[in-house]
Chains A and B, each alone.
Chain A
């Protein structure tokens, strides 16, 4: 009974994290919620008696994937920042003309 209640709680958290990942506006928040999703999923794997998958999910989903997403996000922001800088430069050039 208690175990099923715990599982239901985890499943509810899983659904919440999945929806939050999809709808959140800020990409950084999205990555963190996605890592929380992976962590909950790894506990669920443990409860479903597949500890192999649980360990892999925790290491890959919550660890490495989050770091890679974070680095990719930084790169995107860098490109955005470059474009914004170029736009600002061009605008100031036009004003000088």
Chain B
């Protein structure tokens, strides 16, 4: 009996049909189970690949690597040496950044002035890349089945073999002293991004690592009590919307707009550089929540 695509899709969704079996008739679920158990292990696939391609695969690998090495080394060699006066360094954009950057953006750290003022649109795109990655990880890893069909709650899915660090005295003692300092350092890097090296991405990554360490040592439940799934969602969405709204005027006028209604203050003060400080904080929150939710979804399939 030939089934339509929609019927097959429905059957696959219910677990009665496997596309890899290439039969359109009704398939015994037991058979699928046996099939997937035998053929889908990594070793089986590897063995098949090796038998199929044989030596050709290895030869092509070597050839591809040699070509890649040649191209990359050629590119590295043909870079003009640093500081020669005939280099294509005559670039008015760079001169403008170096000479006018502090005056126009108010940021002592020129890199922060570049990525959050001149090139703020790029940074918005990068934040949305992270957001998309979180969405993809959520779709792939989220463990939605909390109860069995008969209503009994299912046990928590935790990958076996992970060392329980909360029972390790060395890890526990060291991290008890270390975690507050990591948090403070992350906040410093985040808030001081327009004055010193650092900024949203690095500060957010440090804060995210501190959260991961905390949930590793003190257990996911305690971390989830502070940082619930709703809070993560809210923080990410509010940060992204704030960024988009705060810079929308610049985006709509083709990024020609550089004079903000917010005063740029005295360069070097913590409350200066106009919008750069709040934008740094927004990017940092997005990165921090991204790292933390990556960890939680990989570890146990949900945040709380």
Contacts and interface: CB of A to CB of B under 8 A. Distances in A.
A7 to B, nearest CB: 13
A8 to B, nearest CB: 15
B205 A86 contact: no
A74 B34 contact: no
Contacts of B109: 52
Contacts of B159: 71, 74-75, 78
Nearest to B137: A68
Interface in A55-81: 55-56, 59-60, 63-64, 67-68, 71-72, 74-81
A52 B37 CA distance: 48
Nearest to A86: B37
A51 interface: yes
Contact of A71 (B201, B291, B299): B299
A90 B33 CA distance: 11
B161 interface: yes
Given A64-B294, A68-B294, A83 B202 contact: no
A52 B298 contact: no
A59 B295 contact: no
B277 interface: no
Task: Name the residue among B109, B159, B198, B299 with the largest chain A CB count within 10 angstroms.
Answer: B159
A68 B212 CA distance: 10
Contact of B37 (A59, A63, A87): A87
B298 A72 contact: yes
A63 B294 CA distance: 13
B145 interface: no
A62 to B, nearest CB: 10
Given A77-B161, A78-B161, A67 B198 contact: no
A87 B36 CA distance: 11
A80 B42 contact: yes
B239 to A, nearest CB: 18
A75 B300 CA distance: 10
B291 A64 contact: yes
20 contacts: A50-B111, A52-B109, A52-B197, A56-B205, A59-B202, A59-B209, A63-B205, A63-B209, A64-B212, A64-B294, A71-B298, A74-B162, A75-B159, A75-B298, A78-B160, A78-B161, A81-B160, A83-B40, A84-B41, A90-B38
Interface of A: 50-52, 54-56, 59-60, 63-64, 67-68, 71-72, 74-81, 83-84, 86-87, 90
- Give the 9 A-B residue pairs with the shortest CB-CB distance, closest first: A51-B197, A59-B205, A71-B298, A86-B37, A55-B202, A83-B41, A56-B202, A63-B209, A74-B159
Interface of B: 34, 37-38, 40-42, 109, 111, 159-162, 189, 197-199, 201-202, 205-206, 208-209, 212, 291, 294-295, 298-299
Given A59-B206, A83-B37, 20 more contacts: A51-B197, A52-B198, A52-B202, A56-B201, A56-B202, A59-B209, A63-B206, A64-B209, A67-B212, A68-B294, A71-B295, A71-B299, A74-B161, A75-B159, A78-B161, A80-B42, A83-B41, A90-B34, A90-B37, A90-B38
